[in-house]
Amino acid sequence: MTEPSTLPIYRQIAEQIAEEIESGELPAEAPIASERELAEMFGISRMTARAAINILVQRGILVRRNRSRAYVAQPKFRFDLSSPGGLHEQLRKAGVRPGAKIIVAEKLPFDALEPKVVDALKLTPAEAVFHIVRLRTANDEPIAVEDSYFPERLFPDLLDFHLTDSIYGILKKYFSVEPAGSLQELEISLLDAEWAEIMEVPVDLPTLEIRRCAVTADNTPFEYAHDIYRGDRLIFTARTVGPDTLFPSQLRQSPPNP
């Protein structure tokens, strides 16, 4: 005999809906029962029904299209944080169409850089960097913002290339530079109004911020980046491996500048 659940009723209902979605009984974009229908079905208040739906909306399993109706969300994209390859290549291999829109593409002199960029890339006072900010898309849906810095001495004419393509692909093909590893710092945050407008998503959307320094096989740092990924549309994975690469000094927290 199955013991009764100790979970609150709204959580029990949420888990039941989640199981129906996972099994395929409720496919992507399918509407779920309204708050009124759930209340009648389970003999609960509409407030309790709303709480059950809100849990699944917060988990990215459901999306709201109006006040009382929610729909099954599209499957999330996967991003392997432990892979040295970029988002472009990972999406492509998964059969997803990657894309990018250039927000900023500029050359910055040494004295215009923040200390975190100078330290991470081991720059000297005579050096400049290329600053590139891109809105990343998957099947035309905005999923991330990448704010990156590349040393000019390694990539002297980088801004002349088609930067909506894979930048890592450009670095490998034309400059013989590819990532061997990276040091990453991860932080959960809420999307602010400025980036929400650029990404065309609601303010305070849960995001994963990643500050990253990528290095080559000989431990030369070639990219410092601060990326913002949508927590509602991506599943993040990571593989544990033994440390075999040295990295520059600790990355410092700083929001990206559009």
| Model confidence pLDDT, tens digit, residues 4-25 | 678 899 999 999 999 999 888 9
Longest dimension (CA), the chain: 75
- Three-state SS at 49: helix
The per-residue pLDDT for 234 is 85
The per-residue pLDDT for 242 is 54
The per-residue pLDDT for 192 is 86
Of the candidates 154, 172, 180, the residue with the CA atom closest to the CA atom of residue 245: 180
Q: Which residues contact 204 (CB under 8 A, 6 or more apart)?
A: 190, 191, 196
- Three-state SS at 221: strand
CA 233 to chain centre: 8
The per-residue pLDDT for 3 is 54
The per-residue pLDDT for 232 is 82
**Residue stretches of the chain with pLDDT short of 50:** 1-2, 243, 250, 252-258
In angstroms, the Cα distances linking 165 to 77, 94, 98, 206 are 19, 17, 9, 27
Adjacent-strand bridge partners of 227: 146, 210
The per-residue pLDDT for 244 is 52
pTM: 0.74
Burial 243-258 (b: 16+ CB within 10 A, else e): eeeebbeebeeeebee
Domains, the chain: 9-72 (1.10.10.10), 77-237 (3.40.1410.10)
